[in-house]
Structure 1
Amino acid sequence: MLSHELFHTLHQLSRHLTNKLNEALKPLGLYSAQWSVIYVLKTKGSLTQKELCEYLFVEAPPMTRTIQRLVKQGYVSQIPGKDKREKHIQLTNIALEEYPKWEHIVNTVNHELMKNLPLDSQQELLKLQKSWLNQIL
């Protein structure tokens, strides 16, 4: 496969998956970017904004906007760090209560998108993605 085809296909797939997830989460007042932050905080615990940016490969300005929206919605809080500029981001109790609903929606979308792939192909796809990502990092 030629590299431009690979990147083009990955970009199309990424956009499609993001749009599907946005459609599913919209009735709950969330978008995929917010879900990504929530998921990382749920799995990794409190992180600084810089750590979130690095982990999710997102630049600071869009991450700041996403965090501000989540603060406004009551889903995350910002705890001052040792440095005045550093803030630790963590999920609130409200987010922890809502998390199972959000996770159910995401799992439903995942299942719907993968339903036509045999289980062994799904597992192989995930294995390849993780391997590739680990090589990049």
Structure 2
Amino acid sequence: MEGIFQRYLSLYRALITKLNELMSPYELSYSLWQVIFYIKNNGPSTLVDIANHYNVEKPTITRRVQRLEDLQLVKQIPGMDRREKVIQLTELGEEIYQTCRKKITDLENRVMEGIANEDQMITFQTLPKIQENIMEGEGSKSE
């Protein structure tokens, strides 16, 4: 289906802009939110765990975590290895998560207005399949 990437990318950019606007009162961006979201859903985590999940370099996550520490939304806790940084949400981080999660859910509901539930479910199920195909394609060479 020619043009699907362009449609997706224009949707993605608009969505990230909306999310950044929504979180700006909390001095957050979507990239910082990703770290908070991961920790909230997976519990205390290492920088490597977070970096691997989002397929980004560890220094990128280190900078994000440092910013979240500055905002007092996350803190380091002792890990199994002294060299390993384990990060968890602070009480303020939990509060900000709940507030932003509600706003994001409201946004999700607004942008899906007028779209049949069946179509929403198809989209919800199709996007991970597209991601999987992209990730599998990175390992294979075209002939």
Q: Scaled by the length of structure 1, what TM-score is found?
A: 0.86
CA deviations over 1:35-81 (Å, ceiling 9, x no partner): 11111111111111111011112222322221111001111112243
Q: 1:132 aligns with which of 119, 130, 133?
A: 130
Where structure 1 has 5 or more consecutive residues not aligned to the other structure, the ranges are none
Q: 2:36 aligns with which of 35, 38, 59?
A: 38
**Partner of 2:141 in structure 1?**
none
Q: 1:62 aligns with which of 42, 60, 63?
A: 60
Matched AA of 1:71: E
CA distance in 1, matches of 2:113, 2:56: 30
User: In the alignment, does 2:38 pair up with 1:9?
Assistant: no
Where structure 2 has 5 or more consecutive residues not aligned to the other structure, the ranges are 137-143
**Partner of 1:104 in structure 2?**
102
Q: Scaled by the length of structure 2, what TM-score is found?
A: 0.83
Cα deviation for residue 93 of structure 1 reads 1.5
**Partner of 2:75 in structure 1?**
77
Cα deviation for residue 134 of structure 1 reads 4.5
**Partner of 1:24 in structure 2?**
22
- 15 and 85 in structure 1: CA distance in 2 versus 1, 3 angstrom threshold: farther
Matched AA of 2:70: K
Cα deviation for residue 112 of structure 1 reads 1.8
**Partner of 1:48 in structure 2?**
46
SS where residue 86 of structure 1 aligns? coil
* Cα RMSD after superposing both structures: 1.9
Percent of aligned pairs sharing the same letter: 31
Find runs of 4+ consecutive structure 1 residues off by over 6 angstroms. none
- 118 and 54 in structure 1: CA distance in 2 versus 1, 3 angstrom threshold: same
Larger Rg: 2
